Structure 1
Amino acid sequence: MAHSNAACASSEIRDSVMKVVTKYSHLEQLQWAGDISKLKIENGGSCNVFRVCLDGSDSSVIVVQCAKPTDAKEPHRDNAQLEFNTLIKFDCLAPGSAVKPVFCDPESKILCIEDLRDYAIYRTSLINGHLDDDAALKLARDVAIIHRDTHVAKIGEDAIKQLDKEFQNATTLTLREQLLFTSPFTPGDPSNQCSDAVKARLDWLYGDQEVLRAAADMKRIFLEKKEALIHGDLHTGSIMVKDKDSKIINAGCSYVGPCSLDLGLLVANYIFTYYCHLLCPDDNDNHRVFAYRVVDICNKTVDEYFKHMTSVTEDLEIYQAKLISEMAGFAGCEIIRRLVGPAHVDEFDHTHDAEIDALGAGVRLLKAYDRIHSIGTLMLIALMLA
């Protein structure tokens, strides 16, 4: 993997990245970057992400080159300025909620952010059996505050229209709509890629009009509901954790949309973690115990969210019930698209049997979404808990 990353990052690209970082050495966070001869560059995990650091010191930043798509399976980060603006907005609303942006260079489409080198990707941490309740609850609070303070019920119709203009993300939204709600539910779509086991169960999707109707309902809500500024792709790979802290990253899919989308995607990815450990080939009671800890954190996440997300457009109880209903539908779509579409998750690399159980969870959530009004019911239906 490191070899392919190095291959994609030509010396010309590396030189260009270093020059742009040096150009911004007047910023307080980059005063160490004035002399390009003292800088070194490393691959940062994919071929458009780099770590630029001062040789022989701990000073470093992460640089994302947004000019070219790096993975045709997912929307690429083609709007560096929007991601920069979103990270600033998130940190302003909920200080410490997101990675801090350093600069955005419009000409080169380069985004520079702080280097969270001591943090781990949340997905990796969960797969490895590490979960800190405080970090998970901080994430729930941060998301709730961002939603609350940009919610149409708090800022008004005129302000939400202005926010919608500021965070226009039409190209990415079109791609996301295709990936989440259209391609996985279209038989024979050429972008779909799934295991033989999942392929043998595709009649659960294509042979069930209830599932297809529910997916169409969720697509309409995704495209039409202008409720608050949301992250738009809040899965466990878009979060970094360290001890009791969590930070949101990868904000290039943000837009003014339904609050339930962020929660639905997050819960879907917790469900992946649950099955990853429950059906782990290593027959170890610790995995089963951890799986049930994940169920508990889902319940706590939604409870914590509602403690802080108090901007509602109707009776609080009715609003919360509707949000959880939508959340169930979005979770179902996310589960299905990760199993049927091209953007798979690492949780099932060594537990392929779990894919069928997860697919069943996604189907059940979609079929029942409009009857699900509590997180307890959502988890009960998704996981068939006793």
Structure 2
Amino acid sequence: MKDFTSCYFTMNEEDAVEYAKTMLDIFDDDAELTCKEIGDGNLNYVFRVVDEKNGKSIIIKQAGPVARISDEFKVSPDRNRIESEILKLQGELAPGFVPKMYKYDPVMNCCVMEDLSDHQIMRTALMEHKKFPLFADHITTFMVNTLLLTSDVVMDHKEKKELVKKFINPELCEITEDLVYTEPFYDCPRNDLLDETRKFVQDEIWNDQQLALETAKLKFEFMTNAQSLLHGDLHTGSIFIKEDSTKVIDPEFAFYGPAGYDVGNVIANLIFAYANAKFTIDDEGRRKDYMTYLEETIKDVIDLFKTKFLAAWDEKATERVAKYPGFREYYLDSILKDTAAVTGLELCRRIIGIAHVKDITSIEDQSKRVRAEKLCLSAGKTFILERETMKHGVDYVKVIRTFAQQF
């Protein structure tokens, strides 16, 4: 019998079953437990444990000592402590939009949570060209509640500073600083891009000194602006979804940073789905229909976020100076600039850098994949350089339509 109480070790499927039997008070004594390792992310081991007698199931998520994407990244297992506490807090701020948490184990660096197997990872669903009409409404409620309500606009400033301290996350922030803000914008040896795309990247990204300057400004904004408690990795692979439900998972990159970082990640990953649809749906009618759906979703995410943010500000703001005429618009405008910038950064880094997205890598026709990559890179560069003009959802749609027509 394994000792789960004194020393950390990386679990396998058999260990996860034993852990569920001996360390959790969830299953019956005579439960017939089976386990499958289902994680496909870059950082963690994820086990689904099921009682074959009644179908009852849970997820055990364990943090390893290095990132699975590469052992170059040494990451603190404390991230699972951060994740479990963030999910609990997000569940209070945005009820119904995160999985239930059952346990956090600081010895085994694992957390036990609700199984969402009746949902689907959103990236996969979008690659299957499914539609989710409620998504924009759901995700904007989640973002407004988790971002505005953890800011100095609403929180007691000392309490907010305590959260900043509690959720300091230097190892995972360093990964973001390197992989999102730095490496994609020069010829870094760790970058991983197609040979057919390299010259385009050299000419349009690496040789553009203005773009380099803007990414430097954005990196320092990310490192120094403790505005809101971010999810920190809010892409479509971190969202479970079904027709009437949206659940946000994997907030292990959470820390206090610029609120637009989360919003921009959502938008960029909808654009990856848009590029996938353009180059994988053969039927013209179906292709146009699905691309239009994604355009409307992108537009709605931006516009609903703005509307809900201002309404929540009026209802929840406690800081006296935040109520001065014009300040809420100024504050929201800064978030919108960051949203556009991060949309661009994410679009570029997922093409050039070490961590790709299946929306693009799954495009089997190499020439079409190259066109999809150029679409994303061109739109990304535009969002960074022209971020001050991106005020409305339609502004995003105009940009992606322009490059969809070009490529």
1:196-239 Cα offsets, whole Å, 9 max, x none, are 23212122111111111111121111111111111011001100
For 1:11 and 1:154, locate their aligned partners in 2 and report how far apart those are by CA, in whole Å: 40
Q: Which amino acid aligns with 2:132?
A: D
**8 A contact 1:362–1:382 mirrored in 2:** no
For 1:281 and 1:121, locate their aligned partners in 2 and report how far apart those are by CA, in whole Å: 20
For 1:381 and 1:77, locate their aligned partners in 2 and report how far apart those are by CA, in whole Å: 39
**3-state SS of paired residue (1:252):** coil
Please tell me whether residue 60 in structure 1 is matched to residue 43 in structure 2. no
For 1:113 and 1:219, locate their aligned partners in 2 and report how far apart those are by CA, in whole Å: 33
**8 A contact 2:301–2:393 mirrored in 1:** no
Please tell me whether residue 269 in structure 1 is matched to residue 269 in structure 2. yes
For 1:11 and 1:323, locate their aligned partners in 2 and report how far apart those are by CA, in whole Å: 40
What is the aligned partner in structure 2 of residue 333 from structure 1?
345
For 2:226 and 2:401, locate their aligned partners in 1 and report how far apart those are by CA, in whole Å: 31
Please tell me whether residue 38 in structure 1 is matched to residue 35 in structure 2. no
TM-score (normalizing by structure 1): 0.90
* Residues 366/75 of structure 1: CA separation in 2 closer, same or farther (3 Å cut): farther
**3-state SS of paired residue (2:48):** strand
What is the aligned partner in structure 1 of residue 5 from structure 2?
none
For 1:60 and 1:144, locate their aligned partners in 2 and report how far apart those are by CA, in whole Å: 31
**8 A contact 2:75–2:171 mirrored in 1:** no
What is the aligned partner in structure 1 of residue 106 from structure 2?
106
* Residues 191/308 of structure 1: CA separation in 2 closer, same or farther (3 Å cut): same
Deviation at 1:76? 5.9
Please tell me whether residue 365 in structure 1 is matched to residue 383 in structure 2. yes
* Residues 54/318 of structure 1: CA separation in 2 closer, same or farther (3 Å cut): same
- What is the correspondence of 1:305-344 to structure 2 with a 5 Å cutoff? 305-309=305-309, 310-311=312-313, 313=322, 315-344=327-356
What is the aligned partner in structure 2 of residue 248 from structure 1?
248
Please tell me whether residue 115 in structure 1 is matched to residue 112 in structure 2. no
For 1:87 and 1:150, locate their aligned partners in 2 and report how far apart those are by CA, in whole Å: 14
* Residues 184/276 of structure 1: CA separation in 2 closer, same or farther (3 Å cut): same
**8 A contact 1:75–1:175 mirrored in 2:** no
Matched pairs, number: 371
**8 A contact 2:235–2:269 mirrored in 1:** yes
Deviates more, 1:80-89 or 1:288-297: 288-297
TM-score (normalizing by structure 2): 0.85
Q: Which amino acid aligns with 2:308?
A: H
Q: Which amino acid aligns with 2:300?
A: K
For 1:125 and 1:281, locate their aligned partners in 2 and report how far apart those are by CA, in whole Å: 14
For 1:70 and 1:76, locate their aligned partners in 2 and report how far apart those are by CA, in whole Å: 10
* Residues 77/265 of structure 1: CA separation in 2 closer, same or farther (3 Å cut): farther
1:165-184 Cα offsets, whole Å, 9 max, x none, are 12111111011111100111
* Residues 40/305 of structure 1: CA separation in 2 closer, same or farther (3 Å cut): same
**3-state SS of paired residue (1:254):** coil
**Runs of at least 5 residues in structure 2 that lack an aligned partner in the other structure:** 1-8
Q: Which amino acid aligns with 2:285?
A: D
1:74-121 Cα offsets, whole Å, 9 max, x none, are 886832111000000000111111111221111111121111011000
Q: Which amino acid aligns with 2:54?
A: S
Deviation at 1:242? 1.1
- What is the correspondence of 1:207-222 to structure 2 with a 5 Å cutoff? 207-222=207-222
- What is the correspondence of 1:119-268 to structure 2 with a 5 Å cutoff? 119-187=119-187, 189-202=188-201, 203-268=203-268
Percent of residue pairs identical: 24
For 2:155 and 2:120, locate their aligned partners in 1 and report how far apart those are by CA, in whole Å: 35
Please tell me whether residue 376 in structure 1 is matched to residue 394 in structure 2. yes
Deviates more, 1:104-113 or 1:245-254: 104-113
Q: Which amino acid aligns with 1:258?
A: P
Match for residue 45 of structure 2 among 41, 48, 58: 48
Please tell me whether residue 72 in structure 1 is matched to residue 70 in structure 2. yes
**8 A contact 2:302–2:392 mirrored in 1:** no
**8 A contact 1:324–1:375 mirrored in 2:** no
Q: Which amino acid aligns with 2:375?
A: D
Deviation at 1:370? 3.0
**8 A contact 1:98–1:247 mirrored in 2:** yes
For 1:216 and 1:12, locate their aligned partners in 2 and report how far apart those are by CA, in whole Å: 40
**Runs of at least 5 residues in structure 1 that lack an aligned partner in the other structure:** 1-9
**3-state SS of paired residue (1:294):** helix
* Residues 76/277 of structure 1: CA separation in 2 closer, same or farther (3 Å cut): farther
**8 A contact 1:328–1:366 mirrored in 2:** yes
Q: Which amino acid aligns with 2:329?
A: E
For 2:150 and 2:74, locate their aligned partners in 1 and report how far apart those are by CA, in whole Å: 25
